[in-house]
Structure 1
Amino acid sequence: MIRCKRVYASIDAQDGQRVLVDRLWPRNVRKDDLHGQWLREVAPSDALRKAFHAGAVDFAGFTQRYRQELAAHPEHWYALLDLAGKGDLTLLYAGKDTEHNNAQVLAQWLEDELERRGPASSPVCYATDNL
């Protein structure tokens, strides 16, 4: 399961792997308090981030452009896909808006990719009684 959570929220046992997905380090958070890793390269480009925060791009436009950036650079998010496939993954972000942020877009992107991949193949067992 992929969750999104503010980096300032308390750590929960259900968080699983915790990954900060913002380009900038959040204010007032010590690096040893993260209890996870930081993948700044998976965040939106500086130009897109600044345009969204300035209001030059609405959330729909931000989402579309960020998804284009993700499509162009699978090497940035592929490790997250593997983590999500193995268990719980919490994408951390610093923004105050809990519905309109890059972590939400990234979470949906990863969910779409996991669905596109389909269920993991499992070994097939054949009964030998009828052979």
Structure 2
Amino acid sequence: MYRADIRLKRIRDPAEAGDGYRVLVDRVWPRGVAKAQAAVDEWAKELAPSRELRQWFAHEPERWEGFRERYRHELAEVPQPLRRLVERCAAGPVTLLFDARDREHNQAVVLREVLAEELEAWYGAGEPASPVCYARHEGGEEPG
């Protein structure tokens, strides 16, 4: 089983050396957080839930399962940004940053699940795919 080092952290938590590549996965920049102090390597707005989905969910735990399902559908609509983040996760530690107060019911939790599933599908044999196999995968075929 392939295990990636994908961490979750509130953007308001202090950055740490072990965070690796830090990616903000909110569609809007968090209020009161200075960009210069956030230590964000990438702001992946295109991987954040849509405004409509965020408003519907409203961080109500009883809507969690519906949110997870709908957000996964939205992620399927942006394969290129998702693929880039999968590649980044394969290269080393990644920390997904979010601003929600609820650490268990937010988009970063779902995105980490999706990234882990993608990595397992691509590299599940325990070894990363060879560059040749990987190139074939990008062309739409299954890896080696």
Same fold at TM > 0.5: yes
> In structure 2, what is the Cα distance between the partners aligned to 1:85 and 1:121?
10
Mean CA deviation greater in 42-51 or 27-36: 27-36
Alignment partner for residue 121 of structure 1, among 116, 129, 135? 129
Report the counterpart of residue 127 of structure 1 in structure 2: none
Secondary structure of the structure 1 residue equivalent to 2:97 = strand
- TM-score by length of structure 2 reads 0.80
> Are 2:8 and 1:4 equivalent residues in the alignment?
yes
| Aligned partner (choices 84, 99, 103) of residue 104 of structure 2 | 99
* Gaps in structure 1 of 5+ consecutive residues: 124-131
The structure with the largest alpha-carbon Rg is: 1
Identity %: 43
> Could you state the TM-score of these two structures normalised by the residue count of structure 1?
0.87
Question: Does structure 1 residue 64 correspond to structure 2 residue 69?
Answer: yes
Q: Which runs of 5+ in 2 are unaligned?
A: 132-144
What is the deviation of 1:51?
Answer: 0.3
CA contact (8 A) 2:59 2:105 kept: no
- How many residues were matched structurally? 123
Displaced runs of 4+ in structure 1, greater than 6 A? none
Q: Distance in 1 between matches of 2:88 and 2:106?
A: 21
Q: CA deviation at 1:60?
A: 0.2
Deviation at 1:96, TM superposition (A): 0.3
